[in-house]
Structure 1
C-alpha cells in the first residue's frame, strides 16, 4: 500500500440523493418536529377606512396606498370591493390577508349563485361570518391582520359594522379604522350633532373632508381613494378619485416642532 494515499468518499448516486443505505426524504414532506411559521407582522399594509350611515344608505371611503413599512410602495391598491348588491367590504391592515379573504368571499358568493341560494348575502350576514372567521384564526394563533368594515343593508335597513383581527365586532352609525378612529370619528359625530340627519350629499362631503385630514396628518395616507355608496337600489364603487386638487400644503409653514 502506497504511503500518503488519501482515500476519498465516493460521490452520491445523484445530486441531492440519499446516502448509501438510507432513505430519501422528499423536500415537500412535513417533519413532525418542525413548527409552523405564522405571520407576526404585516409587510405591506393599508391605512384608514372611514364609513358612515346617512339618510337612506351607507357610504365608506378608503385610500389606495400600500405601505411597505415607511415606504409608499404601492399607490394603486384597491381595498374596497362590492360583495353583492347589499354588501361592500373594505379593509385596512395586511394587503396579502385582504386579498386572501376577498378571494374566499368571492368564491362563496359564486357558490351561492350557482346553487341558487336565497336570500342574497347581505351586510349583516357577511359581518356575522367575518366575526367567526377572524376569531377562529385568532384562536389558532394565526390571525388575519385586518380591520374590516362592512357596509350595506340588513333587513332592508342600512348597516355598518366593524371586525378586527382578534374577532372584536360591533355595528354603529360611524365606523373607522387606523388613524380614522382618532381623527375622523369626532368629525362625523360633531357634524351629526349639528345637523341631526345627514343627507347623501352631506355624507359624501364629510367623508372627503375626513380623508383630507387623514392625508394631512397620517404619514401612511394617500391622496387617491375609493368611495362606495350603498342604497336600496344597489352598490356604487367609484375608483381613482383624487384629493390632490382640493388640498393645500401652505399650512405646513405654520407647523412647529417637527422639523
Structure 2
C-alpha cells in the first residue's frame, strides 16, 4: 500500500500499475433528491394576544421506521422568531446552517433593527422558491412564528414550492388534517386572537400534540414547544405527554383470544 499522505491506502503504482478510476466517471445527467428519506411530521402553531405558540415532536422517521427519537425541529432565530420544520431532516439541517450564517451576519451588522419574523419569512420564501426554480427543491414545509413591527404576533408558512400562507392557526403534515379543526374551534379567525390568552394557547397546542400522537403513525409523545412574546422565547425541547400510554388497549374486548 502507498502510505504517503497524498495517497493513503491506495495500491502502489510501481507495483500494481496506475489506479483506474474510469468506473467513477459518469456521463449521465446531474441528479437531485427525488423524494425525502428521513422525515419529521407535523408542526403546529397558534397565535394568541401577546405572541405565538409553536410545537413539533422530536421524531425523525426513516420511511415508516421510527428511527431517531431526539431530533429537535424547532430553531430559535434571535430573540423574536422560532422556525418549525416539517419534512426532510437533511434539508432542515441545511436550512439551519443557512439561518445560523444569516444570524451571525446580522450580529456583526451595524443595523440597529434586527430581522423580525416577517423579514425572516420573506427570506425563507425566496430561498425555497429559488431552489424550486432550480428543480432542486428543499423538501420541507416551514412555519415561521414570532413578532413583527410593534410586537404584533406573526405566523406564516412556506412550502417546498415557495408558496406562502399566513393564518392565526397553522399546521403542517398530518396536523393540517387533524390539528387544524381543533385549533379553529378556538381561533376561527384573526379577530378572535385578542381573546386568547397564553395559557389557553399552550393548552390548545398540547391537546393537538396528544391527538397527533394517537392518530399519526409518524409522531411521538416527546415534543418541543416554544412560546414567543415580547419578553423573549420560552423554548422547552423535552416535553412529554402527561399520563399518555396505550395501556388501555389491554382492556379492550372483542378481538383476538379472550382471557377471562
TM-score (ref. length: structure 2) = 0.84
Tell me what 2:10 maps to: none
Tell me what 1:100 maps to: 94
Tell me what 1:250 maps to: 248
CA distance in 1, matches of 2:65, 2:250: 21
Aligned residues of 1:144 and 1:165 also touching (Cα < 8 A): yes
Deviation at 1:192, TM superposition (A): 2.9
Which structure has greater helix proportion? 2
Residue by residue, what CA displacement relative to the aligned partner does 1:129-182 show, whole Å, maximum 9, x if unpaired?
111110110011000000000000111210001000001101110010001111
Say whether 1:190 aligns with 2:185: yes
CA distance in 1, matches of 2:252, 2:156: 38
Aligned residues of 2:168 and 2:187 also touching (Cα < 8 A): no
5+ residue gaps, structure 1: 1-10, 19-24
Tell me what 2:72 maps to: 78
CA distance in 2, matches of 1:179, 1:207: 14
CA distance in 2, matches of 1:92, 1:80: 10
Aligned length: 237
Deviation at 1:244, TM superposition (A): 5.0
Aligned residues of 1:212 and 1:247 also touching (Cα < 8 A): no
5+ residue gaps, structure 2: 1-13, 256-260
**Cα–Cα, structure 1 residues 47 and 256, in superposed 2: closer, same or farther, change >3 Å?**
farther
CA distance in 2, matches of 1:231, 1:206: 17
TM-score (ref. length: structure 1) = 0.84
Deviation at 1:191, TM superposition (A): 1.9
CA distance in 2, matches of 1:98, 1:12: 47
SS in 1 for 2:187: helix
**Cα–Cα, structure 1 residues 17 and 222, in superposed 2: closer, same or farther, change >3 Å?**
closer
Residue by residue, what CA displacement relative to the aligned partner does 1:55-79 show, whole Å, maximum 9, x if unpaired?
1110100000000001000000000
Deviation at 1:239, TM superposition (A): 1.2
Which shifted more, 61-70 or 243-252?
243-252
Aligned residues of 1:81 and 1:237 also touching (Cα < 8 A): no
Structure 1 stretches of 4+ with a deviation exceeding 4 A read 251-257
Aligned residues of 2:52 and 2:228 also touching (Cα < 8 A): yes
